[in-house]
Structure formats: structure tokens, C-alpha cells
Amino acid sequence: MARFSVTKLAEIPVVTDKGLVVGEIIDLIIDELSGKITYLVVKKTKSTAGAFLQKLRHDKEGNVLIPYPAVKHITEMVVLDEKFLRIHALTKG
């Protein structure tokens, strides 16, 4: 498993594998017991499209909470599995 510094994740672009621009990472939610990331907190861009994103959980500031299992790749950007997100939005929101 690759390791990344949390500071390197801040403000990097988040996109889906279908090319939908979601926004940029502003924070992480970590399970205190396991130490594993559970959600990426993503500030949506003004041009963010995708009605299914509105069905995902949001924090009180309106940032979208992306479940960590949706992450496919982390390089210069975070690439999300759009199919996973759509199914998650329909089943759990």
C-alpha cells in the first residue's frame, strides 16, 4: 500500500474516472480506532456537475464527504470510481 503525506493531499484535484471534476480535498475523516481514512472532505468547485453528488453526505459547510473506498488512484490528483459513488449515493446517501 502506498503512503502519502496528508499535507500532500491538501488541495489536490478530485475527479471521477469518467472525467467529472468534483473539487479539491480540504480535510480527511479518520476512524479513531483503526486509524484508517473513512471519508475525504472535498470542497466542490463552482463547475461541479453530477446530481448524484448532491445525494452523498455533506458536512455543515456544504463540502461533500467522499467515502474512501471510492478512491481508485492517488497521484497528482485523486481519481474516484464514479460507478461506486453513484451506487453509494442511491443506497446510503
- The total number of structural domains in the chain stands at 1
Domain residue limits at 30? 6-91
Residue 15 has pLDDT above 60, yes or no: yes
Q: Please report whether residue 22 resides in a domain.
A: yes
Q: Please report whether residue 42 resides in a domain.
A: yes
User: What pLDDT band is residue 49 in, cutting at 50, 70 and 90?
Assistant: low
CATH number of the domain that residue 10 is part of: 2.30.30.240
User: What pLDDT band is residue 5 in, cutting at 50, 70 and 90?
Assistant: low
Q: Please report whether residue 14 resides in a domain.
A: yes
DSSP readout, 54-80? HTS-B-TTS-EEEEGGGEEEESSSEEE
Instruction: Tell me how far apart the alpha carbons of residues 41 and 59 are, in angstroms, rounded to a whole number.
Output: 8
Residue 86 has pLDDT above 80, yes or no: yes
Q: Please report whether residue 1 resides in a domain.
A: no
